[in-house]
Amino acid sequence: MSAGRRGRRARTEAPASARKVDYRNLRNPFPPMAAFSEDRIEALHEASLSVLEELGIKVLHPGARDLYRQGGARIDGEMVHIGREMVEAALASAPKSIRMRGAVPDRDVVLELGRMAFQPGAGCPHATDLARGRRPGTIADFRELVQITQSFDVLHMVPPLVEAQDVPMHLRHMAMTEVELTQSDKVPFLYSRGTPQVMDGFEMIRDFRGLSDAEFRAQSWCYTIINTNSPRTIDMPMAQGLIDFARHGQMAIITPFTLMGAMAPVTVAGAMTLSHAEALAAITLSQLAQPGAPVCYGTFTSNVDMKSGAPAFGTPEHFTASLVAGQLARRIGLPWRCAGGSAANINDAQAANETQFGLWGCLLAGATVTIHAAGWLEGGLTVSYEKIITDLEVLQMVAELCAGTPATDADIALDALREVPPMGHFFGAAHTMARYQTQFYEPLVGDWSNFGQWSERGAVDANHRATGIWRGIVDNFEPPPMDPDRVAALQDFIARRTAEGGAPPES
Amino acid sequence: MSAGRRGRRARTEAPASARKVDYRNLRNPFPPMAAFSEDRIEALHEASLSVLEELGIKVLHPGARDLYRQGGARIDGEMVHIGREMVEAALASAPKSIRMRGAVPDRDVVLELGRMAFQPGAGCPHATDLARGRRPGTIADFRELVQITQSFDVLHMVPPLVEAQDVPMHLRHMAMTEVELTQSDKVPFLYSRGTPQVMDGFEMIRDFRGLSDAEFRAQSWCYTIINTNSPRTIDMPMAQGLIDFARHGQMAIITPFTLMGAMAPVTVAGAMTLSHAEALAAITLSQLAQPGAPVCYGTFTSNVDMKSGAPAFGTPEHFTASLVAGQLARRIGLPWRCAGGSAANINDAQAANETQFGLWGCLLAGATVTIHAAGWLEGGLTVSYEKIITDLEVLQMVAELCAGTPATDADIALDALREVPPMGHFFGAAHTMARYQTQFYEPLVGDWSNFGQWSERGAVDANHRATGIWRGIVDNFEPPPMDPDRVAALQDFIARRTAEGGAPPES
């Protein structure tokens, strides 16, 4: 069951739909779009290799520098100059297809070119909803947001939707991982904030999934996001995260976050040259730490308002940068992550338009994972409960397009056309009666009633309808089935590690 | 100048942008997307020909039936059975590229596959805005809406945005044409509501443009929209309009408006078979009336809510039908019209999402003309001033994508990458300074300020900002330059024809 229907049922008590469409395994149906000619993509790739070789990248982590040195890089203080043959070796050893494991096989996500997975917005310090207003994020917010994420098949992985600011930093990683594991059976996320936190997370996931250490390392059971510090820096926890995730066989999604005109050149071509160089440097480190380690090429490049320096999302430049990233990802053959988003302050027409426009950039770029695809406001400073719901409508419609539409002779329906006379209607035609219950996508939040009916029912806008939907989900949420002994063991682990002092983040 | 900037200036008094992007001549940069395999498109085309040949189409107009008969059709009462060779002859004689003439060459619109033109929503009985609420449309509303349409280069043709219900039907065609001609230099629209009204319109346009009768007939100076009465009927005024427009060399955009499950089969394939058959029948009539007459293949197919029968827009089925229409248009080689739209009752997230989702169907289908691309609410019962503005943001961003993005060595910016150290910023780099004023699209209604600034300024949402923009346009509107003698002659014509009793619509 898609929880879209669950939300709708909570609101309207309508009967469940007979329609079944698989939103869990999506293959991108959109023709890939190019922004630059192939020879310019090659020039951009070459320029990125030149950046790494000639200009180098600053690596703050001594162990990472050692790995680069052993791999043949030239080290000059903290600067690492990476030769193109090292990059080529890393691209050759990085896997082209990676199965990420959920709690059950039906929640596995395969990352490879041509597949498509969505995540709601991540990393927001604030949460907002119409019932309770905008506030600093809490662990209770995170719990609800994971429940919402769990309830929609079109969201494939759990991201850190909001920062649980009410939990101290040395314990937050455990509190958030506990929520992910107990409220969802989807692929969980771990922060890279130093080895102690990462090892806590690995242990929690390994034991909760009932795995031996070898079984855990043999497949990818969780993921992290590695942001470089643009331009041209990899900091301590990011380098350590790359090494730890690689050596434990877990997925690192490497995402330089570059804003054109700010921490990247003002041109799409220049920003993508920098982004590509940084991603290649991080992929190389991952493969030096463990050849064959699961790694996802990533990009998140948009522009700033050149009057104020404010970041912007869902712009033509953001769209074009996504297309270039897709061309580069196909050039290197790796699964890759892209991102939508919005800079709007509330979930209004600007927010909807920017988020969907950015999404189409990702779709036409052939992104494997699209993050911030639902709920992101203020350029990521706030996650909106209502916006998750209204954006989910678009993601579900995209998933419907993935399912394809039949065009058999029976669909062409010459019999129905014979049956209905000129200016008649097809409501009662046999062809219609056989299909009407399953033919069309049923909207999650869309209201197609006419103005009179809609007014009589209180003239409720999409945002307020969305409030009813997420509340219905949260109020009636049932976590996926899980072993109570493992839940108890998870809580024991957290209690013990808390008593030991937890694990402060490293920087 | 793009009036996006005019609107922005009215609001903020910001200096005009140095950025110049041509929004007037758009070529579609998106890779065409297929919904069905080529052999199934061929099967659908063949099924449509069978519909016309075996089932026939009901034609209420005796003169039209005569034309079909003379062309070789079999006539059975009001039913016209059209052989495939007649359709093939019509497709061979219909022009593949048509230059529609504006008041000035810079406003010409070339309709052919690969080009792209946008129109705001058309045919709405109601208008709405946040300042004055929802009301039956008036000629004053139409005047303002044409002024808004005129002010944005990304809107290429003037449609009948709203019905001027305060003007009686026998005079309305003249009042609306006067507004189109005096408030805009873009390609105007005429209703097909019987020969007397059409001839009034032709005469007004011919004389206002200062043309001889031969000059008028030699090129396409206006257009009409021909909706068939699905299923399988062409009514009196539509048939007469096809004949009149063809014989005067003016453009007929032929658009079966088929809702799957209501006046068309419940399947995309079935609905498109019917839509295609009806369009081919009308194209054939046009070419029988005047071989080589300018004609545009059209489709507007979406689905209904099978619980209520309410029409829906911006759905996955609407999207897919657009893709099929694009495949069929390429099959027959003609310029074609597609449509977006929304069934939402106000300009909320649903409205924005449906309109943009439907738009992407048109874009990936390769539509030559996309109508209802801005402002359409309630499935066309209301045009929203604010929604025109917020939808224009998306259309302008699409137009920016048409302009392409350079990727020269200077754009790749190795010099800038050398200039800025690790973790530095590019705000002051020479590469940035040389480009920052022109590099990025500046939003029309988007507000990228942070939450604090935005709250201090009154927490104004996109809709209320849009009110400020359209009011600025309407309050400061200056019509394009025109000969005052022609304006006087236009008004004299209307006065004379009014005294003569006007022209009641025919049905």
DSSP A23-50: -SSEE--SPP--SS-HHHHHHHHHHHHH
pLDDT band at residue B507, thresholds of 50, 70 and 90? confident
Q: What pLDDT digit, counting tens, does each position of B358-382 carry?
A: 999 999 999 999 999 999 999 999 9
The minimum CA-CA distance between A502 and chain B, rounded to whole Å, is 31
Tracing tokens 């509501």 back to the chain, one arrives at B193
pLDDT at B464: 98
Q: What pLDDT digit, counting tens, does each position of B98-126 carry?
A: 999 999 999 999 999 999 999 999 999 99
Contact B439 A390 (CB under 8 A): no
pLDDT of residue B396 exceeding 70: yes
Tracing tokens 């590690």 back to the chain, one arrives at A497
pLDDT of residue A161 exceeding 70: yes
Nearest CA among B479, B269, B346 for reference residue A412: B269
Token pair, residue A285, equals 């480190």
pLDDT at A10: 40
Contact B319 A397 (CB under 8 A): yes
Q: Which residue has the higher pLDDT, A341 or A17?
A: A341
pLDDT of residue A14 exceeding 50: no
Could you tell me which chain A residue has the CA closest to the CA of B274? A417
Mean pLDDT of A104-123: 98
Mean pLDDT of A421-428: 95
- Tell me the C-alpha distance between A44 and A500, whole Å: 50
Could you tell me which chain B residue has the CA closest to the CA of A260? B426
pLDDT at A16: 60
Contact A231 B31 (CB under 8 A): no
Contact A435 B231 (CB under 8 A): no
pLDDT of residue A4 exceeding 80: no
Q: Which residues contact A455 (CB under 8 A, 6 or more apart)?
A: B345
Tracing tokens 């009641």 back to the chain, one arrives at B504
Cα angle at B265 between B262 and B266, to 5 degrees?
80
Query: What residues of chain B lie within 8 A of the CB of A416, using their CB?
Result: 265, 270
Q: 45-74 in B: which are within 8 Å (CB) of A?
A: 47, 50-51, 55, 57-58
Cα angle at A78 between A73 and A81, to 5 degrees?
25
- Does any domain span residue A21? no
- Does any domain span residue B412? no
A40 contact B CB<8A: yes
Please count the other Cβ atoms lying within 10 Å of the Cβ belonging to residue A406: 13
Which bin fits A254, alpha (ψ -120 to 50), beta or left (φ > 0)? beta
- Least confident stretch, A13-27, A444-458, B55-69, B213-227: A13-27
- Tell me the C-alpha distance between A106 and A325, whole Å: 29
Task: Return the amino acid letter for A375.
Answer: G
Interface with B, mutate which of A411, A441, A456 (most B CBs under 10 A):
A411
**Residue A318 belongs to domain spanning:** 26-31+90-403
Give percent of chain B above pLDDT 70. 97
Q: What is the DSSP string of B243-269?
A: HHHHHTT-EEEE--EEEETTTB-SSHH
3-state secondary structure A398-428: HHHHHHCCCCCHHHHCHHHHHHCCCCCCCCC
Cβ pairs A/B, distance under 8 A: 389
Can you say how many angstroms the Cα of residue A396 is from the centroid of all Cα atoms in its chain? Answer: 15
Please count the other Cβ atoms lying within 10 Å of the Cβ belonging to residue B494: 18
- Does any domain span residue B227? yes
B80 contact A CB<8A: no
Helix or strand holding residue B91 (H, E): helix B84-93
A219 contact B CB<8A: no
pLDDT at B16: 60
- Does any domain span residue A203? yes
Q: Which of A33, A309, A351 sits opposite B31 (nearest CB)?
A: A33
pLDDT at A459: 98
Helix or strand holding residue A178 (H, E): helix A169-183
User: What sections of B94-235 are H helices per DSSP?
Assistant: 139-150, 169-183, 195-208, 213-218
Q: Where are the beta strands (DSSP E) in A97-246?
A: 98-100, 109-111, 115-118, 126-129, 133-136, 223-226, 233-234
**Three-state SS at B448:** coil
pLDDT of residue A8 exceeding 70: no
Q: 81-100 in A: which are within 8 Å (CB) of B?
A: none
Tracing tokens 């052999």 back to the chain, one arrives at B39
Query: What residues of chain A lie within 8 A of the CB of B462, using their CB?
Result: 344, 348-351
The minimum CA-CA distance between A297 and chain B, rounded to whole Å, is 20
- Tell me the C-alpha distance between A319 and A358, whole Å: 6
Query: What residues of chain B lie within 8 A of the CB of A127, using their CB?
Result: none
Query: What residues of chain A lie within 8 A of the CB of B319, using their CB?
Result: 397, 401
Q: What pLDDT digit, counting tens, does each position of B422-476 carry?
A: 999 999 999 999 999 999 999 999 999 999 999 999 999 999 999 999 999 999 9
Q: Which of A32, A315, A431 sits opposite B397 (nearest CB)?
A: A315
Q: Which of A316, A356, A411 sits opposite B356 (nearest CB)?
A: A356
Q: What integer best gives the mean pLDDT of chain B?
A: 96
pLDDT band at residue B43, thresholds of 50, 70 and 90? very high
Distances (CA, A) of A442 to A269, B29, B391: 41, 31, 24
Q: Which of B29, B47, B446 sits opposite A412 (nearest CB)?
A: B47
- Least confident stretch, A221-225, A249-253, B16-20, B52-56: B16-20
CB A379 within 8 A of CB A370: no
Q: Which residues face A220 on adjacent strands?
A: A100
- Does any domain span residue A68? no
pLDDT of residue A392 exceeding 50: yes
CATH number of the domain that A167 lies in? 3.20.20.480
- Does any domain span residue A479? no
| Helix, strand, coil fractions of chain A, as percent rounded to 5 | 45, 15, 40
Fill in the DSSP letter of residue A378: G
pLDDT of residue A112 exceeding 80: yes
pLDDT band at residue A9, thresholds of 50, 70 and 90? very low
Q: What pLDDT digit, counting tens, does each position of B119-166 carry?
A: 999 999 999 999 999 999 999 999 999 999 999 999 999 999 999 999
pLDDT of residue B8 exceeding 50: no
Report the residue count for chain A: 507
pLDDT at B48: 98
Looking at the structure of chain A, the number of domains it has is: 1
Query: What residues of chain B lie within 8 A of the CB of A364, using their CB?
Result: 30-31
Q: Which of A310, A344, A423 sits opposite B229 (nearest CB)?
A: A423
Distances (CA, A) of B203 to B128, B213, B216, B489, B492: 32, 9, 9, 11, 12
Give percent of chain B above pLDDT 90. 95
**Three-state SS at A379:** helix
Phi and psi angles of residue A43, each rounded to the nearest 5 degrees, phi first: -65, -40
- Does any domain span residue B103? yes
- Does any domain span residue A40? no
Contact A261 B233 (CB under 8 A): no
> Burial, A137: exposed, middle or buried (Cβ in 10 Å; 0-12, 13-18, 19+)?
buried
